[in-house]
Structure 1
Amino acid sequence: MNSISRLLAVLIASLAAALPAAAQEWQATEKVEHYKVNGIAPMELYQSIGERGPKLSLGRVIAHTTFKLTWQRDYQQQGQACVLATAKPRLVITYTLPKPAQKLPPEVAAKWQTFYDGIVEHEKLHGQFMKDLTQAIQDVSIGLRDENDPGCKKVRAALQAQLKPISDAHGARHSEYDQIEMSPGGAVHQLILAFLNP
């Protein structure tokens, strides 16, 4: 390990030690669900994706990432004050991805694997955005305090006020990412072209 690597390791360890214990205690659960697509040629498979892919408001898509986020929050009354002492998330991310229903010829199978791996990479970044959202919510939650809040109503309202801009930024981040990736020349657009072209 060189000196820069050692320095980075020390910095990471010190940052981790400085975090509140509650901020280190969560991990996302990630699940993969497949939907079957028919065909043994690239165009047949892609047409089946168009017929059977996850349905969103604008139509069907190749793949989709969803999440369910719930919280265990511990509001503590300290005299007249209220503090949000801990906020532990439970984040479940589900990736919905295509899977051929039939065995593919070797050359098509190789092209499919490259296409599939690229789609997984795209969806995994959506998953990372969801982890980032969860961490951002936890960061503004733990330690939130009001000195005159019997019943902890003010702290709850203050938390809700913090969550809207975080949620709005999260939605915009997903939309911008998809727009870039799926526009002509974008990574997903290139994956589709490479898969369909001979």
Structure 2
Amino acid sequence: MTSRIGFYVLALTAGVTALVATTPATAKTIEQEKPYAITGTTGAELYASIGQNGPEAGRNGGRVIAHTFFKLTWRRNYVPENGGCTLKSATPTLIITYTLPKPANALPPPVQKRWDIFIEGLRRHEKVHGDHIKAMLARIEQTTIGVSVANDPGCQKIRQQIQKPLSDASIAQRQQSRDFDRVEMGAGGEIQRLILELVNGD
């Protein structure tokens, strides 16, 4: 997705998921940054390098400015009772990875100052995507833990029944992220402002 503002604004993306039914991991949430190297000594050069080196994402494999990826795995406790089955507990492990640009070389002081403002704004943007993912996790816990299915002594039907709330939560998260990006990257949006200030200061 691109938008014309005197140059092309690269997209940001979030919500690539990996959902695994069970795992022996203990409950935890990890947020981590994964930098990718860019080069240049001016704002325009740095932004051009982002276009050349940014992470590939989306169906078309296009380059993006930044990317938020998450992996969500579960250890679920299904308990047969009274001929049915109940999901008594579910322990999630959530890993959120923010991929962000990082200059490989020292920058002139005026450019460094603009870069610091740019990257902090970009980091704030991606953290909102992280919040959307955490909200999705909370929704999954609220809509699946405690669910019971009758006539399911082998706890097989319940595994199918919880697929819909899992899917609904994932769809809602992706839509929320798309709506957020549409505002942030639209005319006068925060991302456009950050890019213009970085590039036009040269």
**TM-score, structure 2 length as denominator?**
0.82
| Structure 1 residues 95-130: Cα deviation after superposition (integer angstroms, max 9, x where no partner) | 101111111111110000000000000000111111
Which of 51, 61, 65 is the equivalent residue of 1:62? Answer: 65
Which of 168, 172, 175 is the equivalent residue of 2:178? Answer: 175
- Structure 1 residues 9-88: aligned runs within 5 Å: 26-57=27-58, 58=60, 59-88=62-91
Q: Which amino acid aligns with 2:117?
A: T
Per the alignment, in what secondary structure is the counterpart of residue 61 of structure 1? Answer: strand
Q: Is the 8 A contact 2:65 2:101 kept in 1?
A: yes
Counterpart for residue 13 of structure 1 = none
Which of 116, 140, 143 is the equivalent residue of 1:140? Answer: 143
Per the alignment, in what secondary structure is the counterpart of residue 132 of structure 1? Answer: helix
| Whole-angstrom distance in 1 between the partners of 2:131 and 2:41 | 33
- Structure 1 residues 94-109: aligned runs within 5 Å: 94-109=97-112
CA RMSD of aligned residues (A): 1.3
Which structure shows the bigger proportion of residues in helix conformation?
1
- Structure 1 residues 94-173: aligned runs within 5 Å: 94-173=97-176
Identical residues among aligned pairs (%): 43
| Whole-angstrom distance in 2 between the partners of 1:170 and 1:43 | 33
How many corresponding residue pairs?
A: 174
| Whole-angstrom distance in 1 between the partners of 2:27 and 2:184 | 30
Q: Which amino acid aligns with 2:91?
A: K
Does residue 91 in structure 1 map to residue 58 in structure 2? no
Per the alignment, in what secondary structure is the counterpart of residue 148 of structure 1? Answer: coil
Q: Is the 8 A contact 1:28 1:131 kept in 2?
A: no
| Whole-angstrom distance in 1 between the partners of 2:91 and 2:39 | 42
| Whole-angstrom distance in 1 between the partners of 2:171 and 2:33 | 26
Per-residue deviation, 1:26: 4.5
Counterpart for residue 8 of structure 1 = none
| Whole-angstrom distance in 1 between the partners of 2:136 and 2:100 | 23
Per the alignment, in what secondary structure is the counterpart of residue 151 of structure 2? Answer: coil
| Structure 1 residues 9-59: Cα deviation after superposition (integer angstroms, max 9, x where no partner) | xxxxxxxxxxxxxxxx95420111111110111101110000001112352
Name the larger-Rg structure. Answer: 1
Runs of 4+ in 1 over 6 A off after TM superposition: none
